[in-house]
Each structure stands twice: as C-alpha cells, then as structure tokens.
Amino acid sequence: MLLTVVVAIVVLVFVIESLLDYLNQSRAHAPIPAEVAHLYDEKERSTSINYGYEKYRLGLISSSLMTAVTILALTQGWLAALDSWVRGFTSNTVLLSLIFLAALSVISSALELPFNLYSIFSIEERFGFNKVTPRTFLLDLIKGTLVSVVVAGPVLALIIWLYVNFAEKFWLYGWLLVAAFSLFTFMFGTRLILPLFNKLTPLPEGELKTAITEYCQSQGYSLTRLFVMDGSKRSTKANAFFSGLGRSKMIVLFDTLVEKLTTKEVVGVLAHEIGHYKRKHTLAMFIMSILQTLAIFALLGWLLQYEQLSTALGAEQSSFHLSAITFFILLGPLNLLLGLLNNSLSRKNEFDADQFGKITYSAKEMRTALEKTAKDSLANLTPHPAYVAFNYTHPPLAERLRALL
C-alpha cells in the first residue's frame, strides 16, 4: 500500500512538471508583449524559439528516463538489493548509510552525465554560448565530487549519527546542525568554494571602479569585496550576484557582464544587487529556508519511527537511508508548493531590488542592461504564467521592464 502511494507520487510530480514544461513550450509562438517587441528581429526570435525547444526536448527525455528508473528501482527491489549489498561490507550503521547514499549518488550522476554532456557540448555549443572545454568539464566534475565528499560527507555522517543516538530528539539536533551549517555556508560559502572553480579578481582602478565607488558612497554602502569573475571560462552569458551577510558580504560581476555593458549599465546592475542587501532580501530568504528546514526535520523525525518507510521498498530491516528516500519522495508534492512560495517571494524581491535601483540610480540604464543580457542569452519572451509561478526566481523580462518605466 505505502509503495503504491510512493510510486503514485513519483508519477504525479513527473506529470505536473512535464505539464508545466509543455504549457511553457506551447507558448513559444505566442504574441510578444509590447515592452519587449523591439528586442529580437525575426531571425533572432526564431533562434530563441529553437533554443527553448532544444532545452525542452532534452529535459523531457532526461526526466522521463530518470522517472522510469526511479519507478523500477522502487518496485523491483533494486534499492533493497543495493542495501543488502552494502551490508556485506560493514555493520556500522552510520557507515552503512553513508556508503549507500554515496553509491546512489554516483549512480544517479552517471545517469545524468550524458544529458549534461549533450546540454553543454551540443545545445550550448550550437547556439554559441559554450566556452567549457573537455578539460574544464573534467576538472569541474572532479572538484565538485571532492567538495561534496569533504563538505557534505561529514555533515551527512553527523546527521545519521544523531539519528542513531538520539532517536527522540533527532529532529531538533539534526535541524540545529543543518541550521548552523547553512549559516556558515550562507556567510562564507561563496568566499571559500567559488575560488576553487573560478578566478576572482578585484575590479581594477578605472572609469568603472570610480563610478561604482561614487554610487556606493552615495548609498552609504561600504564596498569591500567587489570581484570580477571569469564567467567567460564556461559561458558567454552575463551575470552578477550578491552573497553573504554583514561584514562577509560580497558582490561578484561576471567578466562577460563588464565586457558587454556600458559603465552606467554595470552600475545599474550593481544598484540592483545592493538593493537586495539594503532591503534585507538575502537575510529574509535565509530565515525562510531555515524555518522550512525545521518543518521538514520535524516531519522526518516523526515519520522515521515507522519501519514501513524502509520495508515498503522491499528491505527486510529498516535503515536511515531507505526510510529517508521514501520520506523525500513523499515530500514531493509539498516541495512543489514550497517552490511556488519561495519563487513568488524571490520574484517579489527582484521587483523590489529593481525599484531600489530605479530610485537610487537610473531606470533607463537598468532597462537597457536587462534588455542586453536577455537578448544575449536568447531569453524566452513569452513564458507561460503557470511555468513562471513554479520555476522562475526572476520575473519575466517584459514585467521587469514595465515596472522600470
């Protein structure tokens, strides 16, 4: 019975996500909103539509395959088989769960690998975005794996250890551990991890630096960590972001952004990023996520006491890892709803940061910066509202431009 519910949820989540993708794709040829009508000529519009279609098709193939494999693994006892295979190596409960989860993540990464390769070296390449060389790809893969082994491994081991030793209070201790770890990553994650993958250089003295310094002084923002990142190492697409909290705050501009935009436009982008800081968006989003984690740990602690979470998958004895897998699948519909909530909050913050830039700097430069970066990345100008609600962290271009008029 529980297994039927679990499989039904896997199917339900797949159907909802695919339906959203389909709705979005079906609007590819919809009339373009007036605000962005001037952005593409006919050829650029059709290239943007083709790019969207290629990504849609690849996404559909990979999610169908992953869903099919998940259903087979659940119903054919593959997970239980992996569990008893790992039990042949160790009887230590913490080690057992760690090896099991590591093996599972290797298997799922291996399944996703061909799709990642196709996305980067075929789709992104054909549309002129890709800068990733096979060497960079391989190094990223190795470094990414090492970082998760070194960083996520010990945290996961501690969570399992807490579960084994404090069954009753596990939810609270587990949450405290994750909350402390999240706070650390939130403050220092970018500073510690990003340099492993990218080169960060302080913005050199010059016209841009002067303009940025002037703007920051006018806003009473102490400009400490402003870096230019070699985003061009992987893609021609331009970007910028803000991270950290208090004195650990940091702004990163992609070199592609600095190269493509005028000085005033870069300051416009920076004004938006500082808006996120001044209006406490990063802090609010962090608190939101900590509270959601608390709710998830409370549910996890409550449901882990039921052995059926493991035995439903065909295992003879219950284990943290099998129960956790069942739990996170059951959480699927709730996760979709949380995504809806978090993304709507994020889009509201983006509008708000735009307004901050509009008031403190210049709406005109912010508009042209948005137009240039969207055009340059072949952005979809006619996304479906339902798709936007579930998947967009930023409002569609037309809406942002309208709010900046």
- 101 versus 271: smaller Cβ distance to Zn ion: 271
**What character string, x for contact with Zn ion (CB under 5 A) and - otherwise, covers 310-349?**
----------------------------------------
Tell me which residue of 34, 58, 119 sits closest to 382, measured CA to CA.
34
Cβ atoms of 373 and 265 within 8 Å: the answer is no
- 17 versus 350: smaller Cβ distance to Zn ion: 350
Q: DSSP labels for 211-243?
A: HHHHHHHHTT-----EEEE-GGGTBS---EEEE
**Residue 355 CB, nearest approach to Zn ion (Å):** 12
**Residue 226 CB, nearest approach to Zn ion (Å):** 16
- Give the full edge-to-edge strand order of the sheet including 200-202: 200-202, 226-229, 250-254, 240-243
Q: Which of residues 345-364 bind Zn ion (CB under 5 A)?
A: 350, 353
**What character string, x for contact with Zn ion (CB under 5 A) and - otherwise, covers 112-131?**
--------------------
Cα distances (Å, whole numbers) of residue 309 to 13, 86, 88, 296, 318: 19, 19, 22, 16, 8
**What character string, x for contact with Zn ion (CB under 5 A) and - otherwise, covers 164-193?**
------------------------------
**Residue 122 CB, nearest approach to Zn ion (Å):** 30
Cβ atoms of 401 and 375 within 8 Å: the answer is no
**Residue 227 CB, nearest approach to Zn ion (Å):** 17
- 124 versus 273: smaller Cβ distance to Zn ion: 273
- 39 versus 353: smaller Cβ distance to Zn ion: 353
- 124 versus 365: smaller Cβ distance to Zn ion: 365
**Residue 272 CB, nearest approach to Zn ion (Å):** 6
DSSP state of 128: T
Please state, in angstroms and rounded to a whole number, the distance separating the CA atoms of residues 378 and 48. 5
Please state, in angstroms and rounded to a whole number, the distance separating the CA atoms of residues 246 and 194. 19
Please state, in angstroms and rounded to a whole number, the distance separating the CA atoms of residues 359 and 356. 5
**Residue 34 CB, nearest approach to Zn ion (Å):** 24
Rg (CA), the chain: 23
Judged by CB under 5 A, the number of residues near Zn ion is 2
- 83 versus 350: smaller Cβ distance to Zn ion: 350
* Residue 44 main-chain phi, psi, to 5 deg: -65, -40
- 101 versus 353: smaller Cβ distance to Zn ion: 353
Chain residues that interact with Zn ion, rule: CB under 5 A: 350, 353
